[in-house]
Structure 1
Amino acid sequence: MKSISQKMVLGAILSSALITSALAFDAKELAKRSDKGIKKPVMEYKIPDESTIPNNQFGDLVKYGKELTVHTYKYIGPEVKDENMRFAGNNLSCQTCHLDAGTKAYSAPFIGTAAEFPQYRPREDTIGTITDRINGCMQRSMNGKPLPVQSKEMKAFEAYMHWLSQGIPVGGAKMEGRSLAKIDRKMIKQNKADVANGQKVYEMHCLSCHGANGEGVKNEGVANGYTFPPLWGNDSYNKGAGMYRVLKAADFIKSNMPLGATKENPILTDKEAYDVAAFMNQDSHERSEKANRIADFPDDAVKAPDVYRPGKESIEHQFGPFGKIIK
């Protein structure tokens, strides 16, 4: 006959198994909800020639949109002189993640973005617009507040993304480089991210630019951003940002970091990218919280597998292994 303590342990194990099963991410269900009924053509990843930007009001907005992407902190950052224009809560730029003004392949580029919207957004479990998506970044990666929908800045971001998406049909297209290149999913299903090894990777490959404490290298002057951005701390992205998710961060890092890395010629291995992403986003590193983050991904079936909120998801959702989480 089992003791009470044995029964409690068995019950906890069974309960944990049921929770893990209930929280399993279903890629097929996400694909079903995201389906627009439009067959996407295969197209070449192509960056438009800036000499084709028209000399008119639309062209002016496109140029301002690019400038906002590169020097976000200069126009809507927390240090700008006009307090009414302080929409971003940190001194990062959109280009911090969307490299080369949103044109570098495999770095979440803007090429084709405008053609993809409206689209199903699992984080909100609704159909979202490109305006919604931009303001999502403003509140998460930029740790700030939404831009007014009719503001010049919002129109400029939209115009720039629209111009970069020229020639791509409504509904989007299949293009190499359009999305982040994923690290080995078999590896992350079988292995937990190693934070201690991630620290070693950071010290060898990242510290020289991002600093011993992830503080980055800030440019002199006011509202002048960073040469190399902070990876944690109050002037970095908050816990609602995609980069706070370990798999998302690892995918980005593998094809883009350290500087000079590309998908074709990476510097880190998949495991090193996985480990350093975990080190970067570990709880001991100070990072701002995102208000009401608990409301993100209300439907477990399409919740990203690496979304972790203490008390809601098990620790495996933060650092893996993800074998029981991803169907």
Structure 2
Amino acid sequence: MLFPRVRVGEAFIVALLLVALDQALARPHLVAAQATKQRVPFRVPSEAELKDSVYRASALRGRAILLATRDSLPHNVGNSLRCASCHIDGGLRRDAIPWVGSYARFPQYRPRSGKVDLIEDRINDCFRRSMNGRGLEPTGRDMRDIVTYFAFLSGGIPVGAEMEGQGFPRLQAMKGDAGRGAAVFKSTCVRCHGANGQGTQLAPSLWGPRSYNVGAGMARINTAASF
């Protein structure tokens, strides 16, 4: 029996197309996942949902570290801030970079690092930049307890889903006015942060050696303005 002659290059291209078609038919969910991103409502789980005693103890210890970071981890914090200084209401307020849902967004590619980061990488970025300190041992108890608390706050949220209220609201692009900013700061901010932004017992330092370093997100004008 005679068959039509096919050049090697043509056969290779046909084979690639057949493989691609087979994968698309066998795994249509992958295509759908790329085409649309699921959006879920903002929901803060109740502490009563922490049933298991071991899991509960780990999550609550993680929360305690986040709320009193310098006192809990003095060797890892190089300023007067705590994680909850930026994550308002203990990371539970929507539109204020909440921790709710954060666990479900990792692993994720981050342009700043140029690689796929785990949530442990993101936490240590905050310790090195926002806390002006040293990163935690990725497999140590402190990191494990913080991640456990984040996992609890993300319960029921699908991996990769976009949650309402995550991050900050987007601001319209506008030109900065330092003079107007100084007037607003004097009338609104000094009562808690001090006349020079040095911090008081009510609110943390806004800049300087007791605050975040230049690598932190808050050192960027757009992030600070959104905050």
Equivalent in 130, 146, 155 of residue 141 of structure 1: 130
Residues 164-183 of structure 1: pairs in structure 2 closer than 5 A: 164-173=153-162, 175-183=163-171
User: What is the rounded CA distance, in whole Å, between the counterparts of 2:142 and 2:64 in structure 1?
Assistant: 10
- State the partner residue of 2:84: 95
In the TM superposition, residue 143 of structure 1 has moved relative to its aligned partner by 0.2
Closer, same or farther: CA 50–38 of 1 in aligned 2, 3 Å: farther
Q: What amino acid does structure 1 have at the position aligned with 2:182?
A: Q
Residues 111-190 of structure 1: pairs in structure 2 closer than 5 A: 111-173=100-162, 175-185=163-173, 188=174
**Aligned partners of 2:39 and 2:161 also within 8 Å:** no
In the TM superposition, residue 38 of structure 1 has moved relative to its aligned partner by 7.0
Report whether the alignment pairs 1:108 with 2:97: yes
Q: What amino acid does structure 1 have at the position aligned with 2:49?
A: T
Gaps of 5+ in 1: 1-35, 78-85, 219-226, 253-327
User: What is the rounded CA distance, in whole Å, between the counterparts of 1:141 and 1:172 in structure 2?
Assistant: 26
- State the partner residue of 2:48: 51
Q: What amino acid does structure 1 have at the position aligned with 2:47?
A: E
In the TM superposition, residue 44 of structure 1 has moved relative to its aligned partner by 1.3
- State the partner residue of 2:10: none
Q: What amino acid does structure 2 have at the position aligned with 1:130?
A: I
User: What is the rounded CA distance, in whole Å, between the counterparts of 1:238 and 1:118 in structure 2?
Assistant: 25
Paired residue total: 195
- State the partner residue of 1:205: 188
Q: What amino acid does structure 2 have at the position aligned with 1:165?
A: S
User: What is the rounded CA distance, in whole Å, between the counterparts of 1:54 and 1:144 in structure 2?
Assistant: 34
Measured against aligned partners, the alpha-carbon deviations of 1:64-115 in whole angstroms (never above 9, x if no partner) come to 11111111111113xxxxxxxx111112110001111111111100111111
Report whether the alignment pairs 1:249 with 2:224: yes
User: What is the rounded CA distance, in whole Å, between the counterparts of 1:57 and 1:46 in structure 2?
Assistant: 24
Q: What amino acid does structure 2 have at the position aligned with 1:180?
A: F
Q: What amino acid does structure 1 have at the position aligned with 2:69?
A: T
User: What is the rounded CA distance, in whole Å, between the counterparts of 2:136 and 2:123 in structure 1?
Assistant: 8
Larger Rg: 1 or 2? 2
Gaps of 5+ in 2: 1-32
Q: What amino acid does structure 1 have at the position aligned with 2:169?
A: A
